Amino acid sequence: MLEQFAEETLRLFDEERLHKIKPLDPYAVIEKCLGVPYDWKFITPDQSILGFTASNDGYFWAWPEPRYRVGMIPEPIPVEKNEIVIDSTLTNDSGKRGRENFTVMHEVFHQLLGHPYSVNVTQMILAGDDHPIDQYSLRMYQRCEIQANRAAADFLMPRALLTRLFYEESGERKLALGYLDARRAVSQLAKGFQTSFDAMQIRLEDLQLLYRPEDYDLPQVGATSPEV
C-alpha cells in the first residue's frame, strides 16, 4: 500500500514526525534515505518543470535566469545518475518553501518507488527530444507522477496526525470548501506542515475532511459565509 510505504519511509527518517509537527529539511531526506547528489538550477525559463532525477550520467540544459530574455540560451550542466535537480526559483523565494518541500519529496519517491518511466520521459522533454512518446510510456509516466504525488503527500502530511490537528482546528467537524473557516484551517495547517495551501487542501479533500457543498443537499451547520 502506497500510504503505508510512505509512512514507513517517514518512520525511517524521523519517527517523531508521525506524531508531531517538526521543521523539515527535505534535503536531509535525500541524504538519509537515498544518499544521492542534488543541486539547484534554473531548469526551464517558464518553471514548467520544477524538479527532475537524472536517469544516467550526462548533461542537461540549464538556463542562466528564471525568465526568458531575447538572445538567452541554455548551457549544458553535468549531472550524475540519480542526481536530483530542483528549480532554483523554489529556493530563491521563501514563500515557495511548501512547494519546494513537495517537489523534493516527489523526486525522492520517484527513486524509492523505482520509476524509470517518469525519469526517462522528463529527460526527453528537457533534452528537447522531438520524437513522439508512445502511448504506453505516456500512460506509465502519468501513473508514476500520480504515485509520487500521493506518496509525497502521505509523507509530508501523515493521515493520523493531520486528522487530529484538523479536528482541533475545526472544532471537531468537517468543513465546506470555499468558506472562510475552511480556508483558515487549510492555511494554518499548511503553515504548520510546511506545505503549500493547494497541497494541503487536496490532501484534506482526499481524507474527506473537506467537502464540496454542492455534493450535499444540506448546508454546513455553523459555517461562515463564503468569500465574495
pLDDT in tens, 132-156: 566 777 788 888 899 999 999 999 9
Is the model's pTM score more than 0.75?
yes
Three-state DSSP class for residue 38? strand
The per-residue pLDDT for range 1-44, each reduced to its tens digit, is: 899 999 999 999 999 999 999 999 999 999 999 999 999 999 98
The residues pairing with 86 across neighbouring beta strands, listed in sequence order, are 40, 51
| Grid cell for residue 6 | 510512505
**119-125 long-range CB contacts below 8 Å, 24 or more apart?**
119/52, 119/53, 119/54, 119/55, 120/55, 122/49, 122/52, 122/53, 123/52, 123/54, 123/55, 123/60, 125/49
Q: Mean pLDDT in the chain?
A: 88
Give the residue-averaged pLDDT of 84-99.
Answer: 93
What's the pLDDT tens digit per position in 96-127?
999 999 999 999 999 999 987 555 555 555 55
